[in-house]
Amino acid sequence: MSSTEARVYLALLELGPVTANRISERSGVHRRTVYDALETLTEKGLVSFVIEANKKYYHDESPERFLEILRGREKDFQSILPELLAKRKLSKEPQEVTVYRGKKGLKNVHELMLKSKNVIYTFGSSGKFKENLGNVYYAQWTKKFVHNKRRMKIILSKALKGKEDYPEGIETRYVSEEFVLPSSTSIWGNVVFIQIFSEQPIGILLRSREAAESYMRYFRLLWKIAKE
């Protein structure tokens, strides 16, 4: 119901069976507009009229009529709801976000990497793994990496070329500084792991097929332009 229709209907409730002129006077709506509103309200089954002495007298249908209309619309909507749901394109894959704070939290995620049989793709790396998580842990992690026969592809800054010896199973390529991000991102399977080595290290683990595919597109683009 439009605001004009509402004003006309409320005036009719207060006045009872009356002419359009009286409705116009009570509602403050121009007579021509009142006629238009009465016509649409009649079509909706909210107003009816009788003709007496060549004059048309309008009267309201009970406000309970609104409930009948709403029930009818709900029934109509329920009939098309399955079709609307079928058209809804949302991922059926579970999605989960976990935030890790501190070095211990980041180490937990790096252990998850070792358990995955998927290739690990990393870009934006600043080469601060050893510096932030410690030489001892770095040595232990790389030893497990080789023992578990894991594979990784890393995109690094050209400035880091030749400064680190990577174990077997890790393939590196290099890009200019402009492509290096302040955070490091790793993708394996349906997992995306973003880690920021700040004073208080933080990591964000996202389990999402769509997110992983999106980040992988970016990785492949960088991998193509990166140099060995």
Domains along the chain with CATH numbers: 3-64 (1.10.10.10), 96-225 (3.30.870.10)
Per-residue confidence (pLDDT) for residue 191, from 0 to 100? 92
- pLDDT tens digit sequence for 136-164: 888 888 888 888 888 999 888 777 777 67
Residues 38-77 pLDDT 10s: 888 888 888 888 888 788 888 888 788 778 878 888 888 8
Residue 67: Cβ-neighbour burial (10 angstroms; 0-12, 13-18, 19+): exposed
Per-residue pLDDT, 77 = 82
Give which of 17, 18, 24 is closest to 8, Cα–Cα. 24
pLDDT of residue 188: 92
Looking at residue 193, its pLDDT comes to 92
So what's the pLDDT on residue 9?
87
Contact 19, 57 (CB under 8 A): yes
- Which residues lie below 8 Å from residue 173, measured CB to CB, with a gap of 6+? 153, 154, 155, 156, 223, 226, 227, 228
Helix/strand/coil for 167 = coil
pLDDT tens digits for range 73-122: 888 888 887 887 777 665 555 678 888 888 888 888 888 888 888 999 98
Residues 159-209: tens digit of each pLDDT: 777 767 777 888 888 887 766 666 789 999 999 999 887 777 888 899 888
- pLDDT on residue 126: 64
HSE of 42, CA atoms in CB hemisphere, 13 A: 12
Let me know the angle formed at the C-alpha of 123 by 92 and 221, rounded to the nearest 5 degrees. 75
**What pLDDT is stored for residue 180 in this prediction?**
62
pLDDT at position 121: 93
